[in-house]
Amino acid sequence: KRLVAYHEAGHAVMGALTPGFDAVGKVTIVPRSSGAGGFTLFVPDDERTDSGLYSRKYLEATLRVALGGRVAEEVVYGADEVTTGASSDLQR
């Protein structure tokens, strides 16, 4: 659970520190039936949701936030201990 907590915190911190990115709505480390060890929920603004249009800046921010979990794992546990959870973040 500790690794999952660091991983999800990495997403949440990156989301909170990335200008123009969605607000952090919820962070949990409670395992889900979908196989996820936890998740971070981001709440997009209404305008972005309604239009369905995404700028390059927003898409790049999405990649940074997705990599935040991996970076947190690497900082805490080292590059050799990064899990497959970090790679599945990029598949979205």
Q: Residues with catalytic annotation? A: 8
CB 64 within 8 A of CB 12: no
Q: SS3 string of the chain?
A: CHHHHHHHHHHHHHHHHCCCCCEEEEEECCCCCCCCCCEEEEECCHHHHHHCCCCHHHHHHHHHHHHHHHHHHHHHHCHHHCCHHHHHHHHC
